[in-house]
């Protein structure tokens, strides 16, 4: 299955960096959700992407959205990564990659976990999907633009 623009985002429940269980449906309704799948805590590209979301976090909040990152790293890794980089948003642990598969996030070159951002409206409908392993800043810029344009 691959999630497409216009689809209802599949619900899930995962552990956050604090160990709390977080469900997508608990975040929706009041806010849009910018859900970004990234390969691995602490790698250069993932650190740049997470810090770019951090640096624009207030802009996302002002636009009515919550930012959520997902990788297959465990809770302890997320806790350390979020603490080291002062990440103000949730990092969810998808050990085993079930949610990555549910959304249809494919591997880059068949090896590296994909880097894909989903903009989900507060009604739960996917408004935008951006996939790029290398154009890291555009994950943030494109999501913010669509939110500001009423998406």
How are beta strands 90-93 and 65-71 bridged, if at all? parallel
69 pLDDT more than 90 = yes
What 3-state DSSP class applies to 10?
Answer: coil
**pLDDT digit string (tens) for 71-80?**
999 999 999 9
User: By C-alpha distance, which of 56, 65, 54 is closest to 28?
Assistant: 65
pLDDT of the residue at 12: 97
**pLDDT digit string (tens) for 78-121?**
999 999 999 999 999 999 899 999 999 987 656 678 889 999 99
Residues designated as active site: 46
d(CA 66, CA 16): 14
Each domain of the chain, given as residue ranges in start order, spans: 13-148
- Does domain 13-148 fall under CATH 3.40.30.10? My reply is yes
**pLDDT digit string (tens) for 126-135?**
999 988 767 7
Mean pLDDT of the chain: 91
User: By C-alpha distance, which of 95, 67, 92 is closest to 15?
Assistant: 92
Q: Using 50, 70 and 90 to split pLDDT, how confident is the model at 136? A: confident
**Which token pair is 17?**
């960096």
pLDDT of the residue at 9: 97
151 pLDDT more than 70 = no
């Amino acid at each position: 299955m691959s999630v497409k623009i216009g689809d209802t985002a599949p619900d899930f429940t995962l552990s956050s960096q604090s160990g709390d269980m977080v469900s997508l449906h608990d975040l929706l309704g009041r806010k849009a959700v910018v859900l970004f799948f990234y390969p691995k805590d602490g790698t250069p590209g993932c650190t740049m992407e997470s810090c770019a979301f951090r640096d624009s976090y207030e802009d996302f909040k002002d636009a009515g959205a919550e930012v959520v990152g997902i990788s297959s790293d465990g809770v302890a890794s997320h806790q350390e990564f979020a603490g080291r980089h002062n990440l103000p948003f949730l990092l969810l642990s998808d050990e085993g990659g079930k949610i990555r598969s549910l959304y249809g996030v494919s591997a880059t070159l068949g090896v590296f976990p994909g880097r894909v951002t989903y903009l989900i409206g507060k009604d739960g409908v996917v408004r935008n999907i951006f996939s790029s392993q290398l154009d890291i800043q555009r994950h943030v810029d494109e999501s913010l633009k669509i939110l500001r344009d009423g998406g």
